[in-house]
A = this chain, B = another copy of it.
């Protein structure tokens, strides 16, 4: 069975992405990064529970050096987390500059070592809050970089199966594939009950509402 590396933050999108890779017939190798995000302990627990659910190989990486670089409310405690504004077109304070390149580089290195030919990432363009590294053309450029930057015999392709989907479609797809959405975590602010008011919670709650399904995780508000 061919192995696929899946980047799993512990959130809903990455969980449905893992479910998609399993549906595509791959043996799963799940990769999670700690990069100094405020609710990391909770996210890592979600990652581990999702990995157990799929009986997957796991690799956890300490990329907390990202917090030393700074620039984001996710990793820099001196920058406040913005209240959600889903109509805004500006990039929110939670943006970590060039973040996905750090995760994808790790995925490519690991894929080359374990012989995986496919990397799955749960990037979503439609509801991406304007993060520049969630756009389809970004992944086309990354695949070109991988072709040029790995051994000639290496064949690795990055796929983002959810990229064109809206959050409510992702939820319906997750339910269809039996993805364990109850194990996922999205909140940027808390690690006990989800706050329900940060960008990430607001997107999640709106999506469950649009999908006509009740979110299985508990909220504070």
Where the two chains meet, the residues of A that have a C-beta atom closer than 8 Å to any C-beta of B are 59, 61-66, 68-71, 91, 96-102, 105-106, 108-110, 112-113, 132-133, 135, 137-138, 141-142, 144-146, 148-152
Contacts and interface: CB of A to CB of B under 8 A. Distances in A.
Which of A100, A110, A137, A141 gathers the greatest number of chain B CB atoms within 10 Å? Answer: A141
A49 B118 CA distance: 42
A150 B97 contact: yes
A98 B150 CA distance: 6
A71 B109 contact: yes
Contacts of A138: 145, 148-149
B71 A61 contact: no
A181 B201 CA distance: 53
A64 B62 CA distance: 8
Nearest to A66: B109
A211 B166 CA distance: 61
Contacts of A96: 109
Contacts of A97: 108-109, 112-113, 150-151
A91 B148 contact: no
B105 A109 contact: no
Nearest to A111: B97
Which of A110, A141, A145, A151 gathers the greatest number of chain B CB atoms within 10 Å? Answer: A145
A124 to B, nearest CB: 15
Which of A59, A63, A97, A144 gathers the greatest number of chain B CB atoms within 10 Å? Answer: A97
Contacts of A149: 98, 100-101, 132-133, 138, 141
Given A101-B149, A132-B149, A138-B148, 7 more contacts: A59-B69, A69-B113, A71-B109, A98-B108, A98-B112, A132-B148, A144-B145
Given A101-B101, A105-B105, A138-B149, A65 B62 contact: yes
Given A64-B62, A69-B113, A70-B113, A132 B108 contact: no
Contacts of A66: 109
A148 B100 CA distance: 12
A141 to B, nearest CB: 4
A52 B137 CA distance: 41
